[in-house]
Amino acid sequence: MKAIKLTGLALLLSIVGTAQDSFVSGSSYQQTEKSQTKRINFYVVNKPRTLDLYSRLVIVRAKHRAANRREKFIVIIASSTNEVKRKIIEKLEERNAMIGSLWFDSHGHYKNGYSSFIIGDEEFSYKTIRDTNVTRNLQALAPYCDTRTRVAMGSCYSGATYEKPAHNGKPATRMNGDSLVIGLANVLPGATIFGTEGWVMTKPGIFSTHGYALAGYPIQKRFKDEVYKPVWEHMGIWHSYSTETGIFTTENTLSLTHMGTIHVKSQSYLDKSKYQKRQQKHLKKLKPGLWKV
């Protein structure tokens, strides 16, 4: 893991979040007590649109894995953060449990020029993550998070720190994924928050730590446009941040266990020579004009 020095907006978000620590942390006795509590893992999926086959496939896979593990792994299908809050808290209170891992399955939108994840019609980015009116439902989950809680924004580019290059007359823009990661950590103090520089895939085996089912690249023609060069260069790279450490850290590629636990692999995707070769092959073939947006 590599620690990264915080600058600008990311540093400001880190400072702002300090005041929230006492709200969740409480006494050392309370923290010890929480560490011995039951843990439930949650996989949150947006309620699919009529023709959204991607989301429907993800739901089928997640539900299949959680079917025989209802005490420890729960799939939440929701169309708003209010629904997410209500369903998660209901399960936690029912079982007197804390959040173990929380994965937000979402789409990232590179065309916007900034990192984000979406629940229903609610978008969270560096622009909104400090707005308590926007994050109030997520903040309601804070009492159920502690230093053993891991939260991942499973959307493409959610932790991107590079610039999206100028494209089709639009200027280059910084993605500000570090500010989003840190901002969400301030919403959920104590928890470790993860965001990625690259694409989040849902290949067969996404609930297994053996391969790299969550890493890699999409095959559609538009992703071979040169505007995507920074994404190709950062495949499988994740970042994390917790208010406990105050350090923005580069992580290896994530995976999910069969129980829905967020797991950091011992090697990153691009540490493998076969994936490096594929990456270099695609980088050499990138060209302009393939993505019309």
The rounded distance, in Å, linking the Cα atoms of 139 and 6 is 24
Q: pLDDT value at position 211?
A: 94
Where are the chain's structural domains?
A: 2-217+237-267
Instruction: State whether the Cα torsion 19-23-27-33 is positive or negative.
Output: negative
Q: So what's the pLDDT on residue 112?
A: 97
What pLDDT is attached to residue 28?
43
Tell me what pLDDT residue 292 has.
87
Per-residue pLDDT, 32: 44
Predicted local confidence at residue 53, as pLDDT: 57
What are the backbone dihedrals phi and psi of residue 266, each rounded to the nearest 5 degrees, phi first?
-70, -25
pTM for the complete prediction? 0.85
Q: How far is CA 37 from CA 30, 137, 178, in A?
A: 11, 23, 31
- DSSP E strand boundaries for the chain: 2-4, 38-46, 73-78, 97-105, 116-119, 122-125, 150-154, 163-164, 173-174, 192-196, 238-241, 248-251, 254-256, 262-264
pLDDT at 80: 96
Helices (H) and strands (E) in the chain, counts: 9, 14
Q: Which residues of the chain have pLDDT under 50?
A: 1-3, 5, 7, 11-13, 15-33
